[in-house]
Amino acid sequence: MDKLFNKVYGSLAGLVIGDVMGMPSEFMTPAQIRKQFVYIDAFCDPPEDHIHPDLRRGQITDDSEQSIYLIEQYNKDKMITVENTAKALQKWAQETDAFNKSYIGPSTAKALRNIEQGQNPRETGFAGFTCGSAMRVVPVGLINAGNFNGALKGAINSSLPTHGTDVAISAAAAVACGISSAMDGKATLDSVIDGALRGAREGAKQGKPAIAASIEDRTRLALSLVNNIEDITKAGQVLYDHIGCGMDANEVVPVVLALFYVTKGDPMQLIRAGANIGGDTDTIAALGGALGGAFHGIDHIDADLLKEAERINNLNVKELAKKIVGMIGMIK
């Protein structure tokens, strides 16, 4: 299998599996997860009082759904712009009835309503500081494989409609540029982290200033906290306690990057760590799986879990990967 395709396929597969495995434990504490599930290492039904009562075992959330809609739109237009990102997200909201479901993020919901009312999508995201743009930016990093400037520009454009603050753009740029770096055939753990930190730094120069801690600085802090911890469960608890795992952009993205380093980029370890860490588990597991999948490729992904996720959600991840590969080097 072509190495580039192998990495794209692995990243998208990691995204979907992570989203599914992390969904049942979303916004539970580590203690609640242990009591309910003991340890999540497969697809599970969420508890009866779950935050998303409309989801069942094996179903994806908005993390994967939005990414898929963006892939289709970017592939159709052969460009990544503020306007076609907004168009794709509006289509997603309409076709999935997102406003009547429990998992649409608060920043995204507010922004899409304002876009519907005719507001400029370059300004509708100025109240968004959560991880909503980071969670869907994986395709941007893959399309711009090895292209830092392209990944950065794409992350900015894909963020603005719903998450136009400096902290949210910085988070999305960290993910996109980290993914872009991981796609390099000679990528190392350090080169991926360096790419993500540089993306965070440059992304923070864009958007409306927010009262929020720096993505770059909090990532460096997260890395220092787990630098000498080999036990992934212990590392996850340290990150949960000291960085936080809520939906804020400057919690989720630093945690994902620190877990990536601790696990040496192993996508299945990252997914399981994310599903059990507590907080915004579906996004942490999805982004971890996507980053690890881009780093190691599809051969490090559990094929049975991928097949099950595809069956339940009527997906063909391989075909999505082919579309991404076809866009590499073509996007303006």
With 0-12 / 13-18 / 19 or more C-beta atoms within 10 angstroms meaning exposed / middle / buried, residue 214 is middle
Q: How confident is the model at residue 320 (pLDDT cuts 50, 70, 90)?
A: very high
Taking only the tens place, the pLDDT of each residue in 90-149 is 999 898 887 877 777 778 888 888 998 989 999 999 988 899 999 999 999 999 999 999
Residue 1 predicted with pLDDT over 60: no
Q: How far apart are CA 135 and CA 131, in angstroms?
A: 6
What pLDDT, on the 0 to 100 scale, is given for residue 195? 98
**Tally of structural domains, the chain:** 1
Residue 310 predicted with pLDDT over 70: yes
Average of per-residue pLDDT across 275-283: 97
In a domain? residue 90:
yes
CA nearest to 6, candidates 270, 296, 292? 296
Query: Coil, strand or helix: which one is 19?
Result: helix
Residue 49 predicted with pLDDT over 90: no
One-letter amino acid of 71: I
CB neighbour list of residue 286: distance below 8 Å, 6 or more residues apart: 14, 15, 16, 18, 19, 22, 63, 64, 135, 274
In a domain? residue 332:
no
What pLDDT, on the 0 to 100 scale, is given for residue 332? 65
CATH number for the domain that contains residue 156: 1.10.4080.10
What pLDDT, on the 0 to 100 scale, is given for residue 325? 96
Average of per-residue pLDDT across 313-332: 92
Residues spanned by the domain of 297: 3-327
What pLDDT, on the 0 to 100 scale, is given for residue 10? 98
Determine how many CB atoms are found less than 10 A away from the CB of residue 122. Answer: 14
In a domain? residue 266:
yes
Look at 50-64, 198-212, 235-249 and tell me which has the smallest mean pLDDT.
50-64
Query: Coil, strand or helix: which one is 182?
Result: helix
In a domain? residue 279:
yes
Mean pLDDT of the chain, nearest integer: 95
In a domain? residue 53:
yes
In a domain? residue 44:
yes
Report which of residues 274 and 51 the model is more confident about: 274
Residue 177 to residues 118, 138, 208, 282, 314: CA-CA distances in angstroms? 31, 9, 21, 21, 29
- The answer to whether 144 and 150 are in contact (CB under 8 A) is yes
In a domain? residue 315:
yes
Taking only the tens place, the pLDDT of each residue in 165-189 is 999 999 999 999 999 999 999 999 9
